[in-house]
Structure 1
Amino acid sequence: MTIICYLLISYLLGSLMAGYFVVKILGKKDIRVEGSGNVGARNAGRVHGKVSFVFTFLGDALKGALVVLIGEYLNLSPELFLVGLGFAILGHVKPITLNFKGGMGISTFIGGMIAFEPLSALILVIGFILLYPVLKSFTFAGLGSFVLLPICFYFLGVQLLPILIAGVLVLAIIYIHREDLSERFEKRAKK
């Protein structure tokens, strides 16, 4: 019963959309009908500037971190923290609170991974710095740095099952971004 409640709470936390509240409070706008219509940090920044981007990113990252911290508090296993993070990402992408139209899950993923393994922050930054000059795209470099996480977890001594679940989460994030990636590949092919 504890696990079911934990997963439900994780999904519901994920469904609390920081971008919606930040842009509504700071900009008096409905982010769902502004810019790309996405309620994530990138669109919040587009619609209402850098402050909205930062607050939205931090709010969405906090959801992922809270899910992992709640899992730790409940003495659940590391693999369950990551499954909970998966439910939070699902809540972010398909929030019951906004008719199942949410964000892309990146901030929630990052916050959860950093709470799970604090060195994730360093891995993500170094990965991005190394990949950006080669790929010349924030999206490609960011998602590429995510791929490094499960690999680095292995060398940090994380057990196999959490590594595999982290890998599945990375693949899920890439899948969520499939349309964006496809558009970027097409633009590059035309150059």
Structure 2
Amino acid sequence: MVTTIDSSTPITLFMDTGKIVITCLLVILAYGLGAISGAILVSRLFSLKDPRTSGSKNPGATNVYRIGGAIPAIITLVIDSAKGAIPVYLAITSELPELAQGIVALAAITGHMYPVYYHFKGGKGVATTLGAGLILSPPTTLFITACWIVIARKVRISSVASLSAALIAPFAAYILDPSYTVVYSILSIMIVFRHKDNISGLITGNEKRLDKPDL
């Protein structure tokens, strides 16, 4: 009896050799792009304090906002989002299966969190997750982003919004785009883990707010 694989299956686990090679190359590219820190580059461009030693000491868009204001933060957000979007877009246009697309996205986010260029000390991965997610599963990511915005406006603490959005993500994916439930579940765990210091800050009442930049 010959077993056939239904091409309409949401997550295709089997790939030919060519697609495996493409997946491996895109994983390397994704990690390499993800490891480039938009926060550090923008801070140097605008002659700001090093985000790794100022504010919350996190090289991300929120901390750049704290030390430099809105414009540098927006540029940082665009750069860090693009790091996730570009490799995932290439994975989709290469017609890789959903699971392989998710692996590429995870590679980009891992690069941001643990960058080889900066002694594996990176950011929280929220912006890179946003960029990758908008290409990977727009409905899920837009819903999660809306949740982040609502919560951030309400509590004025970025980490609370990010943690809440991360915890919502797997359920949102399951309802809106089930093919990526596993990927969003892994992303959720990664983001929560990277926020462990923020969780400690929330418990002790020392977590920084978004009220104004630390100029």
* Shared fold, TM over 0.5: yes
- The aligned runs of 1:141-180 (5 Å cut-off) are 141-159=161-179, 162-180=180-198
1:13 aligns with 2:52: no
Shift of 1:29: 4.7
Looking at structure 1, the residues matched to 177 and 59 of structure 2 have their Cα atoms a distance apart, in angstroms, of 36
Q: CA RMSD in A?
A: 2.3
Q: Select the residue among 70, 79, 82 that pairs with 2:99.
A: 79
Contact between 1:24 and 1:31, CA under 8 Å: does it hold in 2? Answer: no
1:101 aligns with 2:121: yes
Question: For residue 93 of structure 1, what is the amino acid of its counterpart?
Answer: M
Shift of 1:66: 1.1
Offset from partner CA, 1:70-93 (integer Å, 9 cap, x none): 111221111222211111111111
Partner of 2:200: 182
Mean CA deviation greater in 76-85 or 51-60: 76-85
- Residues 136/116 of structure 1: CA separation in 2 closer, same or farther (3 Å cut): same
Q: Select the residue among 128, 139, 148 that pairs with 1:128.
A: 148
1:32 aligns with 2:52: yes
- The aligned runs of 1:49-88 (5 Å cut-off) are 49-88=69-108
Alignment size in residue pairs:
186
Higher alpha-carbon Rg: 2
Shift of 1:31: 3.4
Structure with the higher helix share, 1 or 2: 1
Percentage identity across aligned positions? 25
Shift of 1:3: 2.0
Contact between 1:61 and 1:112, CA under 8 Å: does it hold in 2? Answer: yes
Per the normalisation by structure 2, the TM-score is 0.77
Unaligned regions of 5+ residues in structure 1, if any? Answer: none
- Residues 74/129 of structure 1: CA separation in 2 closer, same or farther (3 Å cut): closer
- Residues 134/84 of structure 1: CA separation in 2 closer, same or farther (3 Å cut): same
Looking at structure 2, the residues matched to 70 and 22 of structure 1 have their Cα atoms a distance apart, in angstroms, of 25
Looking at structure 2, the residues matched to 105 and 133 of structure 1 have their Cα atoms a distance apart, in angstroms, of 20
Unaligned regions of 5+ residues in structure 2, if any? Answer: 1-20, 207-215
Question: For residue 36 of structure 2, what is the amino acid of its counterpart?
Answer: L
Per the normalisation by structure 1, the TM-score is 0.85
Shift of 1:141: 2.9
Question: For residue 182 of structure 1, what is the amino acid of its counterpart?
Answer: S
Shift of 1:101: 1.8
Q: Select the residue among 69, 92, 110 that pairs with 2:112.
A: 92
